[in-house]
Amino acid sequence: MPNRSPDRARVKSRAALLRAGFEQAGAALVEAPVLVSAEALLDLYGEDLRARAYTTFDALRGEQMLRPDFTVPVVQMHMEGGAEPARYTYAGEVFRRQEEDEARSNEYIQVGFEIFDGSDPEAADAEVFARLQHAVSPLGLKATTGDIGILMAAVEGLNTTEARKRALRRHLWRPARFKQLLDRFAGRTPQPAGRAALLAQADPFACAGPEIGLRARAEVEARLEALRADAAAAPIPETEVELLEAILKVRETLPYALEQLRDIAVDLRPISGAVERLARRAETLAARGVDVDALEFEAAYGRTHMEYYDGFVFGFVVEHRPDLPAVASGGRYDALTRELGRAAGKPEGIPAVGGILRPGLMVELEDGLWA
Amino acid sequence: MGLKLGVPSKGRLMEKTFDWFGARGVTLGRSGSDREYAGRVEGIDGVELVLLSAGEIPRELHAGRIHLGVTGTDLVREKLGQWDQQVEELAELGFGHADLIIAVPQLWVDVETLDDLDEAAAGFRRKHGFRLRIATKYHRLVRDYLRSHGVADYQLVDSQGATEGTIKNETAEAVADITSTGETLRANHLKILSDALVLKSQATLFRSRRAALTPEERATLSELVARLDLD
């Protein structure tokens, strides 16, 4: 494949310039190793990460990955003794496996900006968005925003068992599985074939084999108990399911989206808090000079991206070019800091929001390579 | 040099491949002693037999070092990214049938489907603090399959042989492996998930899309394709 990439030196100097801009905004410059422990990453993101990241191995350290992003090493570093509040910036290569599309880079430079500060989360959201928007403003990109927190609040507010909510929460980032579960919990689709028969058996273990493996008989019994409880639970009321689906369909400019969500919140009170946070974010965005009247909001945006974005999410893309990756993107990842904080004795985590820019793509767009 | 045909270098797969070509008037065989990995071809000129491990044939097709190769669909799809752009399936040979399946202990009476596996994995991770381990050597195929079916909280652990034994040894909780009769699975107290057929595989004749052909080799390929009734 011919190398269409602009001169690497230009990309690096652009990266340095962008990073300097974040330093001027008070961010401390941080570095991260290229090789990061595979264990922590895989525990966090699961096996799917192997399809996106390069894994390498040596006999001493075991599996390591070429960093697929900076977020995890930066959060780890912060959790091990960063003062709070904190803001960080970085620039460097990240590595992504591209097995489906040869045209996509498997190595490119990211410049990032991250804020760890719980004092005013909506203001931090707005600041990250506004600074990244400013950086890409000459490129005429299309911005889309979303808020996973609203969907999470809606699941939390359903009138159903804790086990069902947990199952829905777990699959929030897998829309097909989420819908399948929701339909089943709402009684729209029947229970899986054979389940009623299994639960009706006097001795479900009559034909079971010997006890082998780490998953003990007691765990099987516990799940049978959970299945019995689930079979006895009332379906989630149809009205609530429809409201949840209405949320997922919201796709408007921000003021109209807010109006629609407030209407839904009248009938689904538990999302009110999250919707008002969205309203406050819109105000702080406007105060930072963002044209919120023209800003797109999709309630389902970011659902198929990486897990752990659990609040505000955004992306800047080249319009009508879905084949190109986002030039800038980011979001809030409080849950990730809780996961990684556990290892560092800080299970409470810290509210965190950040975003990345791709200077290589920016330079290519300026050169008209993708016109 | 001639048109290079890669064939598994030993066992039933080799013999059945020889039979399949033989039935179509192309005689393949090993030259010299049984231990020598050199082949001969009779019944058509310009074809060179290359005896290889079945597992290496996908790589050789991808590199364009052989023009044709016989191997399992499972190996091609596991080892080649965008496999259908690297190779073309010329013929399914009707032997070497094997299904790539997912199996769990018979003890798990609560697990019959992928849905159940997903929920059991969530419970397992909560209890044990790590992801449920599935032993396999088909990492890409299994991972793609589980991702497209929305299964979470699992991890794949590598097992290049005796995979069914990993559960008893507590190095895995489930397995994803090739089976033809299910005999080994039953002997190891495992059962197949009812809806988790990852891939149906059989021995297949592939053509490399990446191997360069001289005019003579191209003519030989056409003749061979006609002889094998593949046109």
B127, B128, B143 member nearest A50 (Cβ)? B143
Mean pLDDT of the residues in chain B: 92
Residue A1 has pLDDT above 70, yes or no: no
Q: Do A99 and B82 touch (CB under 8 A)?
A: yes
Is the Cβ pair B144, A180 closer than 8 Å?
A: no
Structural domain contains residue A200: yes
Q: Tell me what the mean pLDDT of segment A176-201 comes to.
A: 91
For A103-144, how does the pLDDT look when each residue is reduced to its tens digit (9 = 90+)?
788 999 999 999 999 999 999 999 999 999 999 999 999 999
pLDDT at position B216 = 94
Q: Helix H segments across chain B?
A: 11-22, 57-63, 73-79, 83-86, 114-128, 139-148, 183-187, 215-227
In this prediction, residues A278-300 reach a mean pLDDT of 96
Q: How many contacts does A have with B, using Cβ atoms within 8 A?
A: 109
ipTM of the complex: 0.87
Asked whether the beta carbons of B206 and B61 are under 8 A apart, the reply is yes
* Confidence bin at A195 (pLDDT 50/70/90): confident
Give the pLDDT of residue B33. Answer: 67
Those residues of chain B that have pLDDT short of 50 are: none
To the nearest whole Å, the CA of A101 is away from the closest chain B CA by 9
Roughly how many angstroms between the first and final C-alpha of chain A, as a whole number? 19
pLDDT in the model for residue A306: 61
Q: Answer for the pair A335, A310: CB distance below 8 angstroms, yes or no.
A: yes
Q: What is the distance of C-alpha A243 from the center of its chain? A: 23
| Nearest chain B Cα distance for residue A85, angstroms | 31
Query: Are the C-beta atoms of residues B185 and B179 closer than 8 Å to each other?
Result: yes
Q: Examine the pLDDT at A189 and tell me if it is beyond 70.
A: yes
* Average pLDDT of every residue of chain A: 92
Calpha distance B93→B71 (Å, rounded): 10
Q: What pLDDT is stored for residue A48 in this prediction? A: 86
Residue A6 is predicted with a pLDDT of 66
Residue A2 pLDDT grade (very low, low, confident, very high; cuts 50, 70, 90): very low
Instruction: Tell me, yes or no, whether A204 lies in a domain.
Output: yes
pLDDT above 70: residue A162: yes
Q: How many residues does chain B have?
A: 231
Report how far residue A49's alpha carbon sits from residue B152's, in angstroms, rounded to the nearest whole number.
12
Which domains, and CATH codes, for chain B? 3-96+202-227 (3.40.190.10), 98-201 (3.40.190.10)
Give the residue carrying structure tokens 């699941």: A155
pTM summary value: 0.87
B chain contacts of residue A204, beta-carbon cutoff 8 Å: 109-110
- Across chain A, the runs of DSSP E, i.e. the strands, are 28-29, 35-37, 55-58, 62-66, 86-95, 107-116, 142-147, 251-253, 296-298, 312-317, 328-332, 352-357
DSSP string, B156-211: EEE-SS-GGGGTTTTS-SEEEEEESSSHHHHHTTEEEEEEEEEEEE-EEEEEESSS
A38-45 vs A334-343: helix crossing angle, rounded to 10: 140
Number of domains in chain A: 1
- B85/B61 Cα distance (integer angstroms): 11
**A207 is in which domain, residue-wise?**
189-234
The Cα angle at residue A193 between residues A192 and A198, in degrees rounded to 5? 95
Q: Do A224 and B109 touch (CB under 8 A)?
A: yes
What's the CA gap between A169 and A303, in Å, rounded?
12
Of A100, A94, A96, give the one whose Cα is nearest residue A49: A96
Q: Which of A177, A212, A220 sits opposite B109 (nearest CB)?
A: A220
Distances (CA, A) of A321 to A99, A305, A365, B10, B115: 20, 18, 12, 50, 36
